[in-house]
């Protein structure tokens, strides 16, 4: 019950006019970037991050997380009204959302999407509220070997469970880890990989890389496509909202199933996309008339949206409790925390109670405020799409440059950002995933420190990673996950050998 009291305290911190105003601003900006073609969660947060540099950490994180909620809500608007998924995890929403809009039930579909996003996030936030303090107090007992094992687990699960070609994930990850190592070595103070350049002495800042990889590259990619669009405008009346809400209890199984899937996949890294599809497919499989899916069925909106938002939100759980982000956007938020000198991880719950509980409280409030805001302002946001991209693109470029420069006041960073933009563009086109790179960049130096500290502690004996039950289990699990595709195939092969007749 301690958590409950602290949460109430968190609400008390938040309920000032200034914070509420920041929340609204963050949500509006977030919906804006979510609706704009080509921008979405990680890009929006990366671009708008510099706006928050001058605020105190609590206001800043409230605004950032609201930008994130806003972007998630905004993605649903374009999926349903224009059949353009703003994010990969909105793809499943278009299956039934767009047909509904075509049948003139856009308002219903939007209400369903927003409400289910709200429910999904709420379940995940509840999970965070009660689980995060427990995990973090458990993790306080961790020494360097345990931490390294957890980092290893994160990296390995990306490689083993990711959908992309394995070698491409490995490339992305090792590149990120290497870039994180550029500059001064934190343990010995020696310079590494700087090649005599004074500019590289500072190292490659994570946020500069992210702004380039996500922001600039996305502009280049967006320009490639045809930007014409055609869709439906919609206003939502209170009557529709109430009628959808009245039907909600009928779909409780779908909502619950999707929330659970979302939370589970959100905590394991890289899960939001898988969660939305899995939520949709399971809802379809368990439905009595599967034929009606894809033709504008409200459950087809409920299922993926709930799952996507539950996983998007629960990705913040490992970030807060262990300092390990569960998604690209969470990694960027984590980078933001470090800018304010906050070191995410178990100690955060002890040293910065106000901050953590303020953030968790802001997740509740942000979702409630966001739900009301999107329900009332959909028509305005849908018309943002009328603004020509030629006007939006240069403004985004300018915002990116401001962001990149503001971090370390270095002109070199603007050039670095441009370079990363080109790299991001090429990588996205040949299918090298960017999320592992982002994660590696943000975790790189900590993973290395943990490794070296455990090596120093053990006198260079690798057995330290199997020295007790806990660390041994995590390390073994990491290795199993790394080779999961091979193991999976071996099991399937063995099963075929046992029952050859059925195959």
Partner 1 sequence: MSNTELEIVVDDPTAPEENSPAVVSTGVVDVVVSLLLLALAAVLGWDNWRTGASWDSTGPQPGYFPFYLSVILGAASLYGLGAAFVSRREAAETFVTRAQLRRVMAVFVPTFLFCLATQYLGLYVASFLLIAGFMRLVGKIALWKSLLTAFVFTAAMFVTFDVAFDVIMPKGPLEAALGR
User: Rg of the Cα trace of the chain?
Assistant: 23
Residue 230 or 285: which CB sits closer to partner 1?
Answer: 230
Q: How far is the CB of 229 from partner 1 (least distance, A)?
A: 5
Residue 225 or 488: which CB sits closer to partner 1?
Answer: 225
Residue 63 or 119: which CB sits closer to partner 1?
Answer: 63
| Residue 149 contacts residue 465 (beta carbons within 8 Å) | yes
Sequence-distant (≥ 6) Cβ neighbours of residue 32 within 8 angstroms: 70, 74, 381, 384
Structure token pair of residue 335: 């980078």
Q: How far is the CB of 47 from partner 1 (least distance, A)?
A: 13
| Residue 306 contacts residue 262 (beta carbons within 8 Å) | yes
Sequence-distant (≥ 6) Cβ neighbours of residue 376 within 8 angstroms: 236
| Residue 421 contacts residue 218 (beta carbons within 8 Å) | no
Q: How far is the CB of 216 from partner 1 (least distance, A)?
A: 7
| Residue 376 contacts residue 240 (beta carbons within 8 Å) | no
Q: How far apart are CA 393 and CA 89, in angstroms?
A: 24
Q: SS in 3 state form for 199-227? A: HHHHCCCHHHHHHHHHHHHHHHHHHHCCC
Q: How far is the CB of 320 from partner 1 (least distance, A)?
A: 27
Q: How far apart are CA 353 and CA 490, in angstroms?
A: 47
Q: How far is the CB of 48 from partner 1 (least distance, A)?
A: 12
Q: How far is the CB of 232 from partner 1 (least distance, A)?
A: 5
Q: What are residue 458's DSSP bridge partners?
A: none
Q: How far is the CB of 23 from partner 1 (least distance, A)?
A: 18
Residue 6 or 159: which CB sits closer to partner 1?
Answer: 159
């Amino acid at each position: 019950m301690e958590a409950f009291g602290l949460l109430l305290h968190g609400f008390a911190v938040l309920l000032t006019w200034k914070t509420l105003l920041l929340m609204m601003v963050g949500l509006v900006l977030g919906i804006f970037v979510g609706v704009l073609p080509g921008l979405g969660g990680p890009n929006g947060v990366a671009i708008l991050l510099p706006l928050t540099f001058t605020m105190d950490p609590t206001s800043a994180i409230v605004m950032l997380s609201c930008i994130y909620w806003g972007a998630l809500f905004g993605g649903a608007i374009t999926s349903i009204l224009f059949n353009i998924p703003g994010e990969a995890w909105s793809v499943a929403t278009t299956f039934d959302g767009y047909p509904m809009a075509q049948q003139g039930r856009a308002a219903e579909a939007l209400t369903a999407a927003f409400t289910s996003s709200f429910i999904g996030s709420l379940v995940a936030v509840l999970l965070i509220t009660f689980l995060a303090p427990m995990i973090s107090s458990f993790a306080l007992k961790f020494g360097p070997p345990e931490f390294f094992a957890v980092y290893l687990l994160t990296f390995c699960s990306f490689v083993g469970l990711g959908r992309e070609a394995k070698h491409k994930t490995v490339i992305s990850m090792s590149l990120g880890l290497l870039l994180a190592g550029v500059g001064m070595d934190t343990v010995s103070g020696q310079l590494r990989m700087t090649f005599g350049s004074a500019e590289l002495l500072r190292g490659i800042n994570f946020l500069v890389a992210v702004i380039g990889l996500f922001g600039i590259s996305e502009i280049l990619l967006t320009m490639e496509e045809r930007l014409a669009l055609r869709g439906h405008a919609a206003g939502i009346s209170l009557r529709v909202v109430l009628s959808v809400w009245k039907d909600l209890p009928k779909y409780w199984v779908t909502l619950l199933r999707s929330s659970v899937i979302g939370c589970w996949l959100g905590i394991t890294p890289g899960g939001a996309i898988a969660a939305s599809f899995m939520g949709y497919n399971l809802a379809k499989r368990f439905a009595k008339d599967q034929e009606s899916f894809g033709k504008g069925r409200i459950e087809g909106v409920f299922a993926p949206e709930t799952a996507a938002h539950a996983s998007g939100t629960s990705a913040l759980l490992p970030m807060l409790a262990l300092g390990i982000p569960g998604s690209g956007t969470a990694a960027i938020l984590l980078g933001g925390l470090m800018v304010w000198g906050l070191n995410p991880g178990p100690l955060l719950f002890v040293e910065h109670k106000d901050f953590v509980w303020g953030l968790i409280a802001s997740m509740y409030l942000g979702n409630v405020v966001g739900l009301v805001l999107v329900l009332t302002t959909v028509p305005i946001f849908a018309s943002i799409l009328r603004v020509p991209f030629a006007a939006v693109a240069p403004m985004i470029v300018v915002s990116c440059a401001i962001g990149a420069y503001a971090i370390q006041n270095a002109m070199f960073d603007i050039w670095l950002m441009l370079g990363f933009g080109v790299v991001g563009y090429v990588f996205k086109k040949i299918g090298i995933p960017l999320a592992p790179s982002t994660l590696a960049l943000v975790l790189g130096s900590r993973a290395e420190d943990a490794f070296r500290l455990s090596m120093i502690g053990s006198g260079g004996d690798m057995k330290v990673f199997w020295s007790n039950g806990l660390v041994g289990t995590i390390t073994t699990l990491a290795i199993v996950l790394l080779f999961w595709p091979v193991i999976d195939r071996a099991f399937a092969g063995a099963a075929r050998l046992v029952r050859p007749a059925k195959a």
